[in-house]
Amino acid sequence: MRTKLSTLFALTTAAALATTIESAALVAQSSTVIPPSCATRDGNRHMTVYFAENRVRRVQVLIDARHLSGLSGSRLVRMSFRKDIKGADMYGRIRGNETTPMVVNASFTDAKADMPSAIFRDNHGSKVVEIFRGGLALPRVSPTDGRAVATFASTEAPTFVFKQPLDIVAGKTLCLDFESFPASAGHEWEWPIDAETHRVAGTSRVIGSACWNSKSTPVTTVMESSLRPGMHLKSTSRTPPNTAAAFLMYGLSDQFAFGTVPLPLTIAAPACQLVVSPDVFVPAIFFHRLRASDEGHTSQIVPTPQIAAMYGSTLYLQYLFLVSGATPSLATGNGIAAKFTSDTPTLGVSLVATTNTTGSSGRVFLDFAPVIELESR
Amino acid sequence: MCLVVLLCSAKGSATQWTMTDNDWSVIPDPPSNDQDITVVYRGDDEWVEYEIDGEKPVRVDVTESGRFVIPRKALVGKAGLSLQASGGERGFRVIRFR
């Protein structure tokens, strides 16, 4: 009888202990969605940079510490991206055999999510952990989806199970560093993920006009959402027929060139005017369309520093062209007064991305986040 | 003082790209002017343009979807089109119909 009682006691104790341990584990496990505003709604953008046929990318995601404060566990063990609902038709080419070889490194760092460096190394902390290496299989999902938002279930979400847990360091920024390597499934495909951005834009004003008869005006424009200190200023322009060389002039004034010469200044006939101070003069790659005698295309992307003086400041720019013909001549596009935003980042997540995985730096995308679920234990 | 960074310019050679890392792809590939063309843009511009030979450029918002369709009726009899965004070589593609 005593033996039976003691056996029963032991079994009961063991069962209770197991339940306690299991409960503790369940309590300690928690997850959070980044950015939190996308927990119950589809993000306002999508990203195709991670998963696509034969794609090479390096993308760093910097996540502010405040977004991790709700996690009860002490170590990150798993993360998932989410299907994009608004662009669901893009999954129509997915067959279910698509895989992306990836390496993911992570660290907790003093770098700021609102002010990342374009240099990848500078965004990492001292202890970098490889949390994933291998082929990430992309789930086959429906190209029609009437839901408001997708889930993070592994049946429809690309999921990374960490090969080793990552200790959470309170108060520090999480740097997730994704490298994607090319692989072919034998057909063209892409698997977009849900993303969110806080769009902040500067403003632009056209100065003068191009000195050739263009199909479209203004010939030169800037992407106003690129007018954020710390990102890259993007401009595009039509080029005149028979362009032989293209240059972009950046200046600090549209009133005086070099501080002394009044603008506008006619530099070629007919009415080709310099309307900005050519303080910085850079070559621009340009392209012909079907024929050299058509108008062509040029563009320029230039990084801008994230310094206080840049916020709300105005930079002037104008393209200058050398045109071939019986007599070579100059032509000018319209000028642009590009005013940078005064608003600083607010999302608490930013990206640094490049298509050159051997390069040391990338382009900075402030207030831009893939929608991620992080799980801790 | 004018700061001349480089005194050279480069003409691109983006016609009929075969590299995979251009921001543009089209379906079908190679395209023809007797059917609709689905255009896929993978860059980060908010809007892009396409320009059919002899026509004015058309601006397309690509913030929600990087895909858009150019209908066959706009292409019939045309020699080609160009797809343009920022980003230098990777943002530009010329398509010639054979």
Spatial separation of the C-alpha atoms in residues A219 and A238, rounded to whole Å: 5
Q: Token pair of A9, please?
A: 């006691």
What band does A13 get if pLDDT is binned at 50, 70 and 90?
A: low
Q: Token pair of A289, please?
A: 């369309």
Tens-place pLDDT, residues A71-86: 888 999 999 999 999 8
Q: What pLDDT score does B59 carry?
A: 95
What band does A54 get if pLDDT is binned at 50, 70 and 90?
A: confident
Burial (CB count within 10 angstroms: exposed 0-12, middle 13-18, buried 19+), residue B15: middle
Which chain A residues have a beta carbon less than 8 Å from that of B45? Answer: 223, 234
What percentage of residues in chain B have a pLDDT greater than 70?
79
CA distance readout (Å), A279 to A227, A316, A336, B8, B97:
19, 10, 14, 17, 43
Contact B51 A289 (CB under 8 A): yes
Diameter over CA atoms, chain A: 115
Q: Tell me which residue has tokens 């039976």.
A: A4
Spatial separation of the C-alpha atoms in residues A170 and A173, rounded to whole Å: 9
Tens-place pLDDT, residues A174-208: 999 999 998 888 888 889 999 999 999 999 999 99
What band does A372 get if pLDDT is binned at 50, 70 and 90?
A: very high
**Which DSSP helix (H) or strand (E) runs through A123?**
helix A120-123
What residues pair up with A286 in beta bridges, in sequence order? A298, B11
Mean pLDDT throughout B58-79? Answer: 92
pTM: 0.85
Average per-residue pLDDT for chain A: 91
**Which DSSP helix (H) or strand (E) runs through A297?**
strand A296-303
Instruction: Name the DSSP letter for residue B15.
Output: B
A280-283 vs B3-4, strand pairing mode: parallel
Q: What pLDDT score does B3 carry?
A: 46
* A260: nearest CA partner in chain B: B1
Tens-place pLDDT, residues A93-150: 899 889 999 999 999 999 999 999 999 999 999 999 999 999 999 999 999 999 999 9
- Give how far A315 is from chain B: nearest CA, Å: 15
Burial (CB count within 10 angstroms: exposed 0-12, middle 13-18, buried 19+), residue A16: exposed
Distance of alpha carbon B27 from the chain centroid: 13
Q: What pLDDT score does A6 carry?
A: 54
* A277: nearest CA partner in chain B: B2
Contact A283 B64 (CB under 8 A): no
Does residue B7 surpass a pLDDT of 60?
A: no
What residues pair up with A307 in beta bridges, in sequence order? none
Spatial separation of the C-alpha atoms in residues A168 and B93, rounded to whole Å: 45
Does residue A246 surpass a pLDDT of 50?
A: yes
* B56: nearest CA partner in chain A: A215
Mean pLDDT throughout B21-30? Answer: 85
Distance of alpha carbon A24 from the chain centroid: 38
Which chain B residues have a beta carbon less than 8 Å from that of A280? Answer: 2-3, 5
Is the predicted ipTM greater than 0.85, yes or no?
no
Choose the weakest-confidence range: A8-12, A47-51, A358-362, A369-373: A8-12
Chain B from 18 to 37: CB within 8 A of any A CB: 20-21, 25, 27, 29
Spatial separation of the C-alpha atoms in residues B46 and A222, rounded to whole Å: 11
Q: What pLDDT score does A7 carry?
A: 52
Mean pLDDT throughout A248-260? Answer: 95
Count of CB pairs separated by less than 8 Å, A with B? 125
- Give how far B34 is from chain A: nearest CA, Å: 19
Choose the weakest-confidence range: A6-20, A221-235, A358-372: A6-20
Q: Token pair of A235, please?
A: 């401009």
Nearest to A319 by CA among A178, A215, A212, A167: A212
| Cα R_g (chain B), whole angstroms | 15
Q: What pLDDT score does A72 carry?
A: 86
Burial (CB count within 10 angstroms: exposed 0-12, middle 13-18, buried 19+), residue A259: exposed
Nearest to A210 by CA among A306, A311, A331, A297: A331
What percentage of residues in chain A have a pLDDT greater than 90?
79
Contact B87 A225 (CB under 8 A): no
The 10 Å Cβ neighbour count of residue A11 is: 10
Mean pLDDT throughout A263-288? Answer: 94
Average per-residue pLDDT for chain B: 80
The amino acid occupying position A289 is R
Q: Token pair of A252, please?
A: 């600090």
Q: Token pair of B40, please?
A: 């896929």
Does residue A376 surpass a pLDDT of 50?
A: yes
Q: Which residues fall within 8 angstroms of residue A5, CB to CB, at 6 or more apart?
A: none
Distance of alpha carbon A245 from the chain centroid: 31
Q: What pLDDT score does A29 carry?
A: 84
Does residue A25 surpass a pLDDT of 60?
A: no
What percentage of residues in chain A have a pLDDT greater than 70?
93
Does residue A340 surpass a pLDDT of 70?
A: yes
Does residue A10 surpass a pLDDT of 90?
A: no
Does residue A24 surpass a pLDDT of 60?
A: no
| Cα R_g (chain A), whole angstroms | 27
The phi, psi pair for A226, rounded to 5°, reads: -90, 0
* B53: nearest CA partner in chain A: A290
What band does A20 get if pLDDT is binned at 50, 70 and 90?
A: very low
Tens-place pLDDT, residues A281-291: 999 999 999 99
What band does A314 get if pLDDT is binned at 50, 70 and 90?
A: very high
Which chain B residues have a beta carbon less than 8 Å from that of A225? Answer: 46
Q: Token pair of A286, please?
A: 């340009």
